[in-house]
Amino acid sequence: MHIRLSVAVRGISWVLSVLGAVQLACVGGHIPPSTFQFENVVRYTGDGLETGGWKVAQVLVLLGKISPMFSAAATCDIEVGVPERNVKGWVLDEFAQVEAAKAADQAARSVLREQQPTALACQQFRVHMQSILRDLVYGPIPGATVTKFQRVIVSRRSFP
């Protein structure tokens, strides 16, 4: 009986240690929507039915991962640009903030799972985030762009 109990305890300890290692390798944290403060750079001048106008938010995002096998951190400058009005209608700031934050979280998880060098991590982060935002069928904001900082006329934020 003592041997069975000892084997069971060792088995449970092994499972818990594996789960602990997996948890350390997981991506944690969420970028709050308020981090993305959109500012108009091109005013909408249409009649209310046309697409147009442009607003951007600039954020410095720290992508970090701590795991027993691979630890990395990269500071990524991202500029998210969205139209004032696109094919789906008006793009409200609050909507753009929420969708940008969700896309950033999803892109961060995807990039950090790939275990890339930090130089490529930011580039892939931008590519993933843009594809999530602007997908023509499922994307919440068609026409959105995600690039490095392009403009110096808007306020920059950082996370964390």
pLDDT per residue over 83-109, tens digit each?
A: 999 988 999 999 999 999 999 999 999
Rounded Cα distance, 147 and 95, in Å: 20
Residue 7 has pLDDT above 60, yes or no: no
Who has greater pLDDT, 157 or 18? 157
Band of pLDDT at residue 48, cut at 50, 70 and 90: confident
Other Cβ atoms within 10 Å of 71 Cβ, number: 11
pTM of the model: 0.76
Count H helices, E strands: the chain? 3, 7
Band of pLDDT at residue 139, cut at 50, 70 and 90: confident
Judge whether 2 and 66 are in contact, CB under 8 Å: no
Other Cβ atoms within 10 Å of 92 Cβ, number: 12
Judge whether 49 and 147 are in contact, CB under 8 Å: no
